[in-house]
Amino acid sequence: MDEALSPRIWHTLDARDALAALNSSLTGLSEVEAERRLGQYGPNILPEPSRTRPLGIFLRQFANPLIYLLLFAGLLSLAIGDRWDAWFIFGVLGLNALIGGIQELKADASAQALRMLVPQTARLRRTGRIFDMPSAQIVPGDIVELESGVKVTADIRLITAQGLQIDESLVTGESMPVMKSAEAKVAAEAPPAERLTMAHAGTAIVRGRGSGVVVATGSNTVLGHIDRTLQAAGESAVETPMVRRMEVLGRQIAIATMALIAVLSILLFLQGEDFREIVLLAIALAVSAIPEGLPIAVTVALSAAANRMARRNVIVRSLPAVEGLGACTVIASDKTGTLTLNRLSVECLALPDGTLIRRADWLADGELPGLAKIGKVAGWCNEAQLTDTGSPVGDAVDIALLDLAREAGCDPATLLGESRLDHLHYEPALRHAAVALGLPDGVRIVVKGAPETILAMCEDAGPEHREIAERLAADGYRVIAFAQKTVQRLEGPLRQSMSGLGIVGFVGLADPLRHGVIDAIRTCQAAGIDVRMITGDHPRTALAIANQLGMHIDLQDVVTGAQLKQHDPSSALFVDLVIGAKVFARTEPDQKLAIVLALEKSGQIVAVTGDGVNDGPALRAADIGVAMGRSGTDVARSAADLVLADDNFATIVAGVEEGRITFVNIRKIVLFMLATGLAEICMFLGALAFGLPMPLTAVQLLWLNVVTNGVQDVTLGFGKGEGDELEQPVRATLARLIDREAIILMLPGALAMTGISVWVLSTMLGAGETIDAARNAVVLTVVFFHFAYLISIRHLHRPFWRWHPPENLWMFGGMALAITLQLLGMNWGPLQTILGLSPIASSVLLQCLAGGVLVLVVTETTKRIVYRPRC
């Protein structure tokens, strides 16, 4: 069989020859044989891009111009014989690289773990039975069932193809779907784009159905031989657009900081300071003041949020979506399966004469007139299947209809077992399904679908029948119409025989609302997020469901797909129509994309939900694409930024809350880095202005960069929120991280740190202390400054005493580590020699503590002014 597995010949073989070459059959492999082949060929796993090794990640942390400057400074220190300073600089660089590398590895591991939460599955036929199995267990010779919305996970030689169209853009670059044929004759030299008899791994079924035999798996597929692979998740967290934007922000801040440092260096040179000391100090001050660790800190904050969201059933595939969901202003949601349970049951019947039969009626009396007739057509025109236990599996509508047939006294197995001469599977664009049955009295053609579609095929349809359907829809039911006719024989394709039908009746299906969804929509509205519902239901059905959800709308707030078709999607009239609608009913699959684009054009930040292959374009186009984890297709999940593990709309609200928490956490990180960095620069400018010596040495600045920023700023990313995130106004973009409000929060605290540091330096020198003793006090004062500022901005909207320490134990851990390092530096001989530190008198300690308390008071007062209504 190994020779037969050559990927060059399968598209030329007849389907029967392919089965024979693989020692398989239409009933599929046995479980024993499948296990043997799995051991022989390995799991069906597509190759993933090579990942950087830990050593490479560690070395990458040095790829920074500022780090190059610091390395040069260390080498310069060695050249002039200052070994202690040199080794300390190298030690700081190594520690920073180690911290950054560990954080990057953790972020990448988190992304890999989240990726595994969204497994791909395939529907296999083995020993005549159909199973849904993980695609990794597919082996050559397996029979795979294909249908609309499924991603192909192996190379398959088609055996049957009924209207099968496949999107092969990933493999061939062809943007248009390709119509497949199991009987086509294909040349041996045909490229993958022209192999009409094949379905290749990595492609997606756009329309139709089919089946085929697996001819190649894993790296043996066509996809495995090309230089790009299908990835089930986004890029590594450190490569995300958000982090790149944060790097741009860091560079902008760096330019301003370097300008101030240049001015400071010139002033020091004019005062006669040693040139070498100026160079070392300028570089150390730049590394301390410029937030070069901001991208890493932001990535950690996003990764922590992704883990919290995963615990709340929101699986993150793209880290920027964590914060992006918190910024959304509109959620365009599917109804079925998201707002509702997608557990349909037939609750009402309507006969052609207008007689209504409720579920309770036929459960009490199964002999009601017309009930058996509708039960039969519901079982005949049905694509569900029965398991060994007799329970139905398949589409929710078909399962509900099969349950109706059983309740009407019919045997589902008998109805499904009738001879089917031809059939048309249900497709959203067609809005109907049909079957031709070979019965003793002739060929029975049975059709089901949307009432307006079915009634157009019936010769006995009248206005009264449309009124029946609209009345059921107005009561909140999903309405399906049935029609049939009997002919002597089938003339041509079934599609040409669906006219002159007779109405059988209507069924009304109900789909219960999900638990908590009403409260979730109310919460969204209170948070300033508008909720729009998109459904294929009748307008009156959609209106009834919307009002059950608490949206409180009228029929004029419902826009139909037919109304949307009357306008060019790029026109202002189309955008106005979309903006004014709360519910979109009877929409076609491609109209969802137009709705999303129109909302975005109006300035909204749009999160859209979807589960089908046709939702893929809308999910990609939306600012935040949200796919369903259980009911969603592989295509939808691949196109989305987030996946709801429980398919529940209420979970989106949890994601919005976490997104807003993440924004605030990132904002706190930026505030902490910029305020403390600005204070350190201003400290030197203030000392110069008063004719004082430099308040800190270069090595002491580097030490503070490790003790304060290095172990404390990242901990702000683990904050779990202040509890009022959903009560705050929507923030649209990251650009607002640094706004007027942020500047007001930074400046007073930074200026207080500056003034107190200069005052400590001046008073110590005025009291006759040495410059080393004065600098020793300034170092400890700066450590307390950072503690005070960290404690204050932990909550932006509340006084620091109104929160509970367990909210962020990481922050207290960081503070404990920082003070431990500082005590070590002040009391351990080797570090004392390098840093110029020493134990401090109790009177000086109280002075340093008082400085920290004063910074806390200033920052808290500033918060109260900025957030007066909320503090």
**Predicted local distance difference test score (pLDDT) of residue 288:** 59
Inside any domain, residue 299: yes
Inside any domain, residue 60: no
- Res 279 pLDDT > 80: no
- Res 175 pLDDT > 80: no
460 is catalytic: no
Inside any domain, residue 68: no
Inside any domain, residue 775: yes
- Res 102 pLDDT > 90: no
Residues 770 and 855 in one domain: yes
Interval 26-63: pLDDT, tens: 999 999 999 999 999 888 875 555 566 777 777 776 76
Inside any domain, residue 236: no
In this prediction, residues 723-736 reach a mean pLDDT of: 61
Range of lowest pLDDT (222-226, 648-652, 665-669): 222-226
**Predicted local distance difference test score (pLDDT) of residue 388:** 75
Inside any domain, residue 654: no
Distances in whole angstroms, Cα of residue 115 to Cα of each of 161, 235, 306, 315, 384: 32, 11, 12, 9, 31
End position of a domain, from candidates 171, 195, 225: 225
In this prediction, residues 155-159 reach a mean pLDDT of: 94
With tokens 């300034």, the residue in question is 778
Residues 166 and 300 in one domain: no
Residues 324 and 302 in one domain: no
Residues 157 and 278 in one domain: no
Residue 476 backbone phi and psi in degrees, to 5: 95, 10
Residues 371 and 479 in one domain: yes
Residues 670 and 753 in one domain: yes
Range of lowest pLDDT (153-167, 469-483, 668-682, 763-777): 668-682
**Predicted local distance difference test score (pLDDT) of residue 237:** 32
Q: Which of 36, 56, 25 is nearest to 125 (CA)?
A: 25
What the block records as the tokens of 72 is: 């040069």
Inside any domain, residue 112: no
Residues 332 and 455 in one domain: no
End position of a domain, from candidates 194, 225, 256: 225
CATH of the domain at 214: 2.70.150.10
- Res 632 pLDDT > 70: no
Q: Is the dihedral of CA 363, 366, 368, 369 positive or negative?
A: positive
Instruction: Give 24 or 77, the one with higher predicted confidence.
Output: 24
Per-residue pLDDT band for 589 (boundaries 50, 70, 90) equals low
Interval 136-149: pLDDT, tens: 899 999 999 998 77
In this prediction, residues 151-157 reach a mean pLDDT of: 89
**Predicted local distance difference test score (pLDDT) of residue 275:** 74
Interval 109-142: pLDDT, tens: 544 543 444 447 888 999 888 888 888 899 999 9
Residues 737 and 828 in one domain: yes
Per-residue pLDDT band for 289 (boundaries 50, 70, 90) equals low
Distance, CA of 733 to CA of 473 (rounded, Å): 41
CATH of the domain at 641: 3.40.50.1000
- Res 88 pLDDT > 80: no
- Res 286 pLDDT > 50: yes
Inside any domain, residue 95: no
| Residue tagged active-site, from 167, 334, 537, 713 | 334
Q: Which of 871, 735, 748, 854 is nearest to 800 (CA)?
A: 871
- Res 106 pLDDT > 60: no
- Res 744 pLDDT > 90: no
Residues 373 and 503 in one domain: yes
In this prediction, residues 198-223 reach a mean pLDDT of: 85
Distance, CA of 75 to CA of 89 (rounded, Å): 9
Residues 218 and 298 in one domain: no
- Res 820 pLDDT > 60: yes
Residues 215 and 286 in one domain: no
Number of domains in the chain: 4
Cβ-proximal residues to 804 (8 Å cutoff; 6+ apart), any chain: none
Interval 218-238: pLDDT, tens: 878 877 665 333 333 233 333
Instruction: Give 247 or 825, the one with higher predicted confidence.
Output: 825
Cβ-proximal residues to 551 (8 Å cutoff; 6+ apart), any chain: 521, 531, 533, 582, 583
Instruction: Give 232 or 352, the one with higher predicted confidence.
Output: 352
End position of a domain, from candidates 464, 481, 507: 507
Q: Which of 325, 279, 313 is nearest to 77 (CA)?
A: 279
Provide the domain limits for residue 641.
314-341+514-647
- Res 434 pLDDT > 70: yes
> What amino acid occupies position 66?
L
Distance, CA of 277 to CA of 560 (rounded, Å): 74
Note whether 326 and 658 are within 8 A (CB): yes
Residues 220 and 246 in one domain: no
**Predicted local distance difference test score (pLDDT) of residue 149:** 75
Instruction: Give the chain's mean pLDDT.
Output: 80
What the block records as the tokens of 466 is: 């449309």
Per-residue pLDDT band for 612 (boundaries 50, 70, 90) equals low
